[in-house]
Homo-oligomer: A and B are copies of this chain.
Amino acid sequence: MLTVFGSVAIDTIRTPSRIVRNALGGAATYAAISASFFHRPGLIAVVGNDFPEKYQHVLDRFTDSRGLVHANGRTFLYDGSYDQTLSSRKTNKTELNVLKDFKPTVPEKYRKSEFVYLANNDPAQNTRIIKEFDRVKFSMCDTIDFWISTKRSDVIKMMGVVDSIVINDEEARLLTKTHNLIKAAKKIMQWGTRLVIIKKGEHGSLLFYDDVVFPSPAFSLENIVDPTGAGDSFAGGMIGYLASKNSTRLQAIKEAVVYGNVMGSFAVEKYGIAGLVGLSRLDIRNRFNYYKRIVHF
């Protein structure tokens, strides 16, 4: 089984060409939906009593949502604007709401998950919750600059209890205080995690595993409309694929990284989760095969 722990949000996304208000968003939403095309995930998250029924239906469709807690109050709310190039985002408003007092626990039925994805939650919370699982075979976490700036030592402690981290290049540099990404990855691995995936947005990703470096270029896209959730879709696709193979061998991990790239590329082609929810497994396999064909020489 695969479990995803993270945020479910109500997003307002502003790009130069369009504003999408009150969309279903959040790191766990993107990661879980992306993962679901490979392996149906359990979801640990919280929403408020304002959470629209239609969004509940989306989560029910793609996930085992029995771990979704309905709390009194309003759902976590995020509002952000992209610049003209869609490469940088400014936060206009964040309301934690029900997320603020959420004390997540792992439901009994999820405890036997072999695969666990911990999204960009409070690192101390991630470190605590991973211990509630009984037989984790492979865990992966994410983190963001906010936690690195405010709780760096907790982020480093989290590296000691997870198998892998997916992290942006700039965040890896910030966390390790190192410019060179190979040196940065080695430093992170010294803190305990066996596997580091550095995401470089339009430049693809670098996987570090023992002495192996696996660089993979991004799927080149001419029309990107909304980068929201690309990183979470990458992570979800990656761990979903590994869960479906029930494997953590290098070959499976390389393929998983490419599936991560593929899912990220679908995510940014439409607004919000629209790039993911309309997909079929065949769409995904076709893009994977196309990618393989263009990258190989």
Q: A297-B255, A297-B292 are in contact. Are A204 and B222 (CB under 8 A)?
A: no
Q: Which residue of B lies closest to A84 (CB)?
A: B179
Assembly of this chain: how many copies? Answer: 2
Is the CB of A221 closer than 8 A to any CB of chain B?
Answer: yes
Chain B residues with CB under 8 A of A112: none
Chain B residues with CB under 8 A of A183: 222
Mark each residue of chain A from 16 to 50: 1 if its CB lies under 8 Å from any CB of chain B, else 0. Answer: 00000000000000000000000000000000000
Chain B residues with CB under 8 A of A204: 203, 215, 217
Q: How large is the interface on A (under 10, 10 to 19, 20 to 34, 35 or more residues)?
A: 20 to 34
A216 and B204 CA atoms in complex are apart in Å by: 10
Chain B residues with CB under 8 A of A217: 204, 206, 215-217
Is the CB of A9 closer than 8 A to any CB of chain B?
Answer: no
CB atoms of B294 and A296 under 8 A apart: no
Q: Which residue of B lies closest to A206 (CB)?
A: B220
8 Å CB interface, A161-180 against B: 179-180
Is the CB of A188 closer than 8 A to any CB of chain B?
Answer: no
Is the CB of A68 closer than 8 A to any CB of chain B?
Answer: no
CB atoms of B220 and A294 under 8 A apart: no
Q: Which residue of B lies closest to A179 (CB)?
A: B85
Is the CB of A212 closer than 8 A to any CB of chain B?
Answer: yes
CB atoms of A213 and B220 under 8 A apart: yes
8 Å CB interface, A235-260 against B: 251, 254-255, 258
A197 CB to closest chain B CB (Å) equals 13
Chain B residues with CB under 8 A of A214: 294-295, 297
A203 and B212 CA atoms in complex are apart in Å by: 18
A20 and B31 CA atoms in complex are apart in Å by: 50
Chain B residues with CB under 8 A of A224: 180
8 Å CB interface, A183-215 against B: 183, 200, 202-204, 206, 212-215
Q: Which residue of B lies closest to A85 (CB)?
A: B179
Q: Which residue of B lies closest to A255 (CB)?
A: B297
Contacts A/B (CB < 8 Å), 18 sampled: A84-B179, A180-B222, A181-B202, A182-B221, A182-B222, A204-B215, A204-B217, A206-B220, A214-B295, A215-B217, A215-B218, A216-B217, A216-B295, A217-B217, A251-B297, A255-B297, A292-B297, A296-B296
Q: Given contacts A206-B220, A258-B297, list 12 more A-B pairs with CB under 8 A.
A: A84-B179, A180-B222, A180-B224, A181-B202, A181-B220, A183-B222, A200-B203, A203-B203, A213-B294, A214-B295, A216-B297, A217-B217
The 7 closest A-B pairs by CB, nearest first: A215-B217, A203-B203, A254-B297, A182-B222, A85-B179, A213-B220, A217-B217
